[in-house]
Amino acid sequence: MTEEKKPEQRKKRRTATEAASKIGPIAKARTLGVLQSKEEGKPIAYAFIICAYEEIIRAMDIVPHWVENYAGICGAKREAPRFLERAEALSFSRSLCTYALCGLGFDAWREELDEMPPDPPWGGQVRPDMMLGSGQMLCDPRNKWYQAAQHYMPDVPIYNVELLWPPYEEDYDYREVQDYYIKHMVGQLKGLVEFLERRTGRKMDWNRLSELVDLADRTWDIFIEAYELRQAIPCPMGTGDAMNTMVPLTFMLGTQEAYDFYKDLRDELKRKIANKEGIIPDEKYRLIWGGGLPAWFALADFNYFNSKGAVFPVETTYRMAEATYNFDVDLKKISDPLEHIAWRWLKYWTYRHDKARKRPGSHPDIERLIQYIEDYKIDGIVMHLAFSCRTWHLGLIWQLNLLKKVYKDIPSLVLESDIVDISSYNEADTRARIDAFIDTLEAAKSKRR
């Protein structure tokens, strides 16, 4: 009997930490858990990360399905092209956000079949009972995506929460207007609670919400505590792993499991540091992932950097938390949970406004890069222009140029491809650029010696 030819299996990416290796199974169990919840008749909500409503929906036992995460899973498993093609066939432009295209292609196909498309990654994306948008300065698909999805699911309602923060102005202290922002955001979140109560027929348990808000604060704090351990030399965990370990912060906030995950990660990193156990034995270059979502199908490129002696102790992407005890507002004293969420949100997004005003020509985004470069002893910066992510794409080169102008001329590499669309990626060319960047880093180091 001849052996049946099996499709080529892609090797699993090596992780440096045990914590990162647990994320695949956790994420898979959670995605499958949404399917199970659907069967049990629990309300399912399409949701966006960094939305500020995680604790609210969890307090009401509404099960979130994270649409961006699902598209990322399709990308990482190299399953996205068939869903992107569906969306393109429906005349969606290829230059739109490919998370949205992947999700819309999936939804349209599922609705056409009245069942999951064939072989859906991790069981598939369920039909939701509601879609919760998150209109803000982060990105436009966070409300337009659902409007397009409603073409295929006209009976599924959308609720769009508008959460804003004061933009940075170098000659203006945002605190003069912060109360207006808080009032607006609290109104938005109240509206969301009313919508969810109407939609589910359930009443908000305000005490439970307060407990979850407190748990989320503590999760932010322990997340930062763990991540700051990566300042150690040799670095015990890199950005490749962080693209996994961000999952509890971004998709599980307001759960005990998320808090416990970072407690375990912190303890693991402490052990590694005590044993002087780095990602690689001979760490030569310390890099910052200075922006851009990763190419989910090419996370092994982080291992390629490692093979050249380069590690990433820090990244700006998905580090969407600050230590809450550093805020100039004592969150513990804010008893109303919605107000508490609004203040946490506002203080996160304005965290480096004061710092930026002290450096002429700077900007909070630049101050963040500078702080990380100094705290983590960084030699070079890498950014990724994912063509379909306009939010990041627009600002990265500006950030890089401004960083070099107001701070110092640090070696930099700009990679180009996409988050989900693998046709934008060429491994050989990407690695040629990485090789050249390593040469540049070496030249810069030799000059300093």
- Site residues for other proteins per CB under 8 A: 397, 401, 409, 411-412, 414, 416, 424, 426, 428-429, 432-433, 435-437, 439-440, 443-444, 447
Closest CA to 44 of 152, 128, 133: 128
- Least separation, in Å, of the C-beta of 408 and other proteins? 12
Nearer to other proteins, 149 or 298 (CB): 298
Nearer to other proteins, 245 or 412 (CB): 412
- Least separation, in Å, of the C-beta of 317 and other proteins? 21
Closest CA to 351 of 373, 321, 313: 321
Nearer to other proteins, 123 or 395 (CB): 395
Q: Are 358 and 261 in contact (CB under 8 A)?
A: no
Q: Structure tokens of 414?
A: 């700009």
Q: Identify how many contiguous H helices and E strands the chain contains and give both numbers.
A: 17, 8
- Least separation, in Å, of the C-beta of 436 and other proteins? 4
Nearer to other proteins, 250 or 388 (CB): 388
Nearer to other proteins, 255 or 424 (CB): 424
- Least separation, in Å, of the C-beta of 354 and other proteins? 30
Nearer to other proteins, 179 or 429 (CB): 429
- Least separation, in Å, of the C-beta of 292 and other proteins? 15
Closest CA to 419 of 242, 310, 299: 299
- Least separation, in Å, of the C-beta of 439 and other proteins? 4
Cis peptide before 118 (omega within 30 of 0): no
Nearer to other proteins, 15 or 388 (CB): 388
Closest CA to 361 of 171, 197, 122, 225: 171
- Give 116-122 contacts, CB < 8 A, sequence gap 24+: 117/82, 117/83, 121/70, 121/73, 121/74, 121/77, 121/79, 122/28, 122/31, 122/32, 122/70, 122/73
Other beta carbons less than 10 A from residue 314's beta carbon: 27
Q: Name residue 290's amino acid.
A: G
Q: Between β-strands 412-417 and 380-386, what pairing exists: parallel, antiparallel or unpaired? A: parallel
- Least separation, in Å, of the C-beta of 100 and other proteins? 23
